[in-house]
Amino acid sequence: FAPNSVHYLLSLWQRLAASVPYVKATEPHMLETYTPEVTKAYITSRLESVHIILRDGLEDPLDDAGLVQQQLDQLSTIGRCEYEKTCALLVQLFDQSAQSYQELLQSTNSSTMDIAVQE
């Protein structure tokens, strides 16, 4: 993923989601359908990138606090469009990660790389 493309995509979706309270159209918009998918795609892509970053020794995008803050601000606006679905997604992903981490800690043959990815 290219960092600039993430910025522009999040900006687009943030503006679309922020406009929802002001839209007075009689036709339904599909933002309630798509904003949870955008949130899910962003979060899962960040989680899946951890393994690649650690394995290949790439620069960690989470080290750039300004960029992370900007993306989280944008994501918070997108997530509020369908708050319940966003919250459920976060809880589900957290529970899955916590369970995987517990299983790795209890396993006798877990590698340090697997544990580092889960941490």
1 band by pLDDT with thresholds 50, 70 and 90: low
21 band by pLDDT with thresholds 50, 70 and 90: confident
What's this model's pTM, rounded to 2 decimal places? 0.81
For residue range 25-69, list pLDDT tens digits in order.
Answer: 777 778 888 999 999 999 999 888 888 888 888 888 888 999 999
The pLDDT value given to residue 28: 76
Find where tokens 């469009």 sit: 81
Alpha carbons 9 and 27: distance in angstroms, whole number: 24
Mean pLDDT of 86-111: 88
Distances (CA, A) of 115 to 53, 68, 97, 107: 14, 23, 11, 10
CA Rg value for the chain: 17
